[in-house]
Chains A and B, each alone.
Chain A
């Protein structure tokens, strides 16, 4: 064997003293996944602004009706079709109703739709996709074909069919059960909740299934199984935490499309019933007098655009922040 030991000058090497040893320790503070994500999200300025805008809309929708002088169905006979002023920030419609407060109520409807959509996504979507992906095989095959069928039904057709079939039941329920207290929302809005609830989770289910399929064969899941971990433990401790970033992004991205769907359905007349206002129905009403009173269309349309845009931008920022592959 050749002599591998090279000659070197011993004086070049000296033992470290205590202080120098300290310096060699790891000094970067340990960051959790969420701290790390928040730091990246903060650097994304448009997303941060979008989040503030949404926060403002959210707080406004909750608190403004309590402090406002007007109500959404209050008609001020002396002030019809008024141009925006300090008295009526967004003006009034042809019945003398304050448009500002009606837009605020519209925000309530839209945000509640977004809330329902994300709740459905998080419960049905995540569970359905998670179970389908984790069990796999024939179960997965059947569950995903059901999703395919739901996915292929045109939404508008579906709403109209549901309305025809369930209208009587819903009306009945409104008279006799606890739902009566929700009467001001109107049966059609409930119908929209039902529609969104029954179809909006399919995208989430597909996404979660894909995530679970790719995560479940990771070696850390195998290690947990080799230690004897149970199915629920693996799903809750290993699968969901590793898919949570994608889940949050999908929820955020699905909210604007749910809001837009509601606005669209209200615009064509199968949304909230009068006198309740939603952004879609406000736009629909304003459309008829567009030439004379364009501001009546401007404000609800602006509200829809700003909210949908803000959700999309925030979703974009969240995706960048939560996706570990985007880590720089």
Chain B
């Protein structure tokens, strides 16, 4: 159910989001780790935006900054048009109900000293939504909606398997009836067989409750399956955003091309024919990065302008945004994919 272009309603808009962490470089010298550097995107009501990128590219920081677990260094986070980036914790409290987060590690995201019922019910307690038997009823309903049953409520997290724990985490995130759920790599710590179950559960819940997801992951094929649109991050920057089908068939940014070529193909014949783009070198450190395109140190098509100016994010084709001088700039003679 991809919303059609006409009646799309923006639920979350992120404008120029920046999150820098101070780092110590020894003997009083301080640097800045630019975990998220000038990221802008929006999510429409009812859609799933996938966010992919390799480890350390700032995906998780984006998610955590949106739900204000981190205070943004700069930029705006608009929920239904209200900017929450600069709010105090007290001002934020009502907005907490519109967005929740599901964490990666189902073993670390549940308090081992609390019963499952109390874990799922804690958001209800914090916001004073229900007490006594009504609270009990709501907890049971939440557990049932994620495929668990009433008798699980009095048990402790260590009695559950990874997949079940992730379901408990999902039930907790649903307790406040949020519109937006940030799924921070919710399946990467699970068995492959369980991954599909959790993905299907998220899919079902989206259809039933009209949820909007920001789905953060590094498993590209899984992201393609669940997302309507996908954003690709590299070194704290968003480099390309497009519809998932479009991105997979016609990636424009050189980094996206390299990333997609790394997806394993479950067919030896097709695999032998496909060309893997192998990038030179490593991801540079995000501590005090030089100006210019974040990908310039490894890009096979690097130009002079790439080292000097950061490419702006432009809609180079309808609903296909890309930040690359090669695609958008005056030098864009042909598509990078056909260059060699």
* Residues of chain A at the chain B interface (Cβ within 8 Å): 1, 26, 28, 30-33, 218-220, 222-230, 233, 237-238, 241-242, 324
Contacts and interface: CB of A to CB of B under 8 A. Distances in A.
Contacts of A1: 267
A228 B93 contact: yes
B122 A242 contact: no
Given A30-B159, A228-B93, A229-B122, A222 B111 contact: no
Q: Which of A30, A225, A228, A324 is packed against the most chain B CB atoms within 10 Å?
A: A228
Given A220-B108, A220-B109, A228 B172 contact: no
B110 A220 contact: yes
B176 interface: yes
Given A220-B109, A222-B64, A223-B169, A228 B155 contact: no
Given A218-B108, A238-B111, A223 B126 contact: no
B159 A26 contact: yes
Nearest to B160: A26
B104 A226 contact: no
B163 to A, nearest CB: 15
A231 to B, nearest CB: 9
Interface of B: 64, 67, 69, 89, 92-93, 96-97, 100-101, 103-105, 108-114, 119, 122-123, 126-127, 154-156, 159, 169, 172, 175-176, 267
Contacts of B96: 226-228
5 interchain residue pairs of minimum CB distance: A219-B109, A228-B96, A227-B123, A241-B113, A219-B103
B155 A30 contact: yes
B113 A219 contact: no
A28 B160 CA distance: 12
B111 A220 contact: yes
Given A220-B119, A224-B126, A228-B92, 20 more contacts: A28-B159, A30-B155, A31-B156, A33-B113, A218-B108, A220-B109, A223-B101, A224-B122, A226-B100, A227-B122, A227-B175, A228-B89, A228-B96, A228-B123, A229-B126, A233-B126, A237-B114, A238-B111, A241-B113, A242-B111
A225 B122 CA distance: 11
Given A30-B156, A233-B126, A225 B104 contact: no
A225 B114 CA distance: 16
Contacts of A31: 156
A233 B126 CA distance: 9
A31 B159 CA distance: 9
A294 B69 CA distance: 67
Contacts of B64: 222
Contacts of B112: 33, 242, 324
